[in-house]
Structure 1
Amino acid sequence: MARPHPDSADQPAVTCAVLTVSDTRTPETDKSGQLIQDQLAAAGHRVSDYQVVKDEPEQIAALVQSLAARSDIQAILLSGGTGIAPRDTTYDALARLLDKELPGFGEIFRQLSYAEIGSRAIASRAVAGVCNATLIFSLPGSSNAVALAMEALILPEIRHLTSLLR
C-alpha cells in the first residue's frame, strides 16, 4: 500500500474526542472505543474526552456540536451506528452537521473492508468530514473495522488533515 509523504516535524499532536455510539456498550465493554484511544495515544496524540452515547440522532448531533465548538479539540472519532439497521443513526446525525465531507475516506474504507469481509462492506456508512473546523471520523462499531480505519487511513493522515484546518 502506498504511503503518503511524511508529515513535517512542526505538525503537532492532535487532541481528540472519542465517542462510541451504542445502546448496549458501556465504557467497560467498549472494545472499539478503547482501541481508538490506545492507537491515538501510541501515535502521540491526546484524548481529552471519551463518552458512550445512545444511538439517538439528536443526542449524537448535540454532543458532536458541543465538542466541535471546543477550541482544544481538533478531531472527533466516533465508532458505531454506521450500518443500515433502524437504530444505526450516526451517519444521519452527522450528515446534517458536516460543513465539508471527505468522500474519499468512506470510499477507500469500504474498498479496504471489501478486501477483508467481501460484499458486506456495502452496508457501511462510514464517513469523514469537517464540522466547525474540527475533523470528524465516523467508523463502524466492529473492532476489526476500527483497527483497519485507524491503521490504514486515520493515523497516517490525522496530523496533515488537522493542520489544513488550522
Structure 2
Amino acid sequence: MSKIDETAEFIPVRIAVLTVSDTRALAEDRSGDVLVGRILAAGHLVADRQIVRDERGDIAAQLRTWCADADIDVVISTGGTGLTGRDVTVEAHRDVYEKEIDAFGTVFTIVSMNKIGTSAVQSRATGGVAQGTYLFALPGSPGACKDAWDEILVRQLDYRHRPCNFVEIMPRLAEHQQRK
C-alpha cells in the first residue's frame, strides 16, 4: 500500500499553472486559485501562472515555452478538457507530449466516479511528459482540481511517497535526448 516515507527528505518541485478559458481573468480563476493554494500548502513552488484562450496553438505554445524553461518541473492546466467544440486542451497537450501517462486519465476517472458518478465519462483529463517536464490537463471546475490534486498529484509529486513517485524519476525523463 502507498505511504509517505518520513525518513526521506521532501523535495519541492516548481509547478506552473495554466488556466484555459475564453472568459476568465485572474480575479475570477477559482480553479487556478485552488491549484495554487494546494501547491503552496504542500510545500512546492508556483513557478508561473497564466491564462490563455481556448485556442489549440496558443495552449501548445505556452506548454512548449514552459517545457523549455529549466526552472519549471511540472505544468498543470485547468479547463478545456470537455467535449464541446472549444475544448481543445487535451489535443494541445498531446501535440506537445513525447510520452503520454495513460494511467493518469484512468485514475482520474476512478477518483471522479467516486465523487460525481457516471458524469466522470465527460472528462478527458490527461498527463504526459515533454522535454523532461510533467504535463497534466485537468477539468476546469474547482472540484475536479481538488480531486486531482488531493487524490493523485499531491502523492505523486512528493518524493517521499512509496512505493514510487514522479519526482524520483525526474532526472531521467529527458535521458533519451542526451544519447548519441
TM-score range, shorter chain: over 0.9
Please name the residue that 2:168 is paired with: 163
% identical equivalent positions:
36
Aligned residues: 165
Superposed displacement of residue 7, structure 1: 7.3
Superposed displacement of residue 11, structure 1: 4.8
Superposed displacement of residue 8, structure 1: 6.2
Please list the CA deviations of residues 91-144 of structure 1 after superposition, one character each: whole Å capped at 9, or x if unmatched: 011112111111111101111111211111111110011011101111000111
Aligned equivalents of 1:11 and 1:44: distance in 2? 8
Give the TM-score normalised by the residue count of structure 1.
0.94
Please list the CA deviations of residues 11-36 of structure 1 after superposition, one character each: whole Å capped at 9, or x if unmatched: 52001100000111110000000110
The code of the aligned residue for 1:38 comes to G
Please list the CA deviations of residues 67-104 of structure 1 after superposition, one character each: whole Å capped at 9, or x if unmatched: 01000110001000000110000001111211111111
- Which residues of 2 match residues 142-157 of structure 1 at below 5 A? 142-157=141-156
* Contact 1:134/1:162 (<8 A) preserved: no
Name the SS of the counterpart of 2:136 in structure 1: strand
* Structure ID, larger Rg: 2
Name the SS of the counterpart of 2:96 in structure 1: coil
Please name the residue that 1:107 is paired with: 106
Please name the residue that 1:63 is paired with: 62
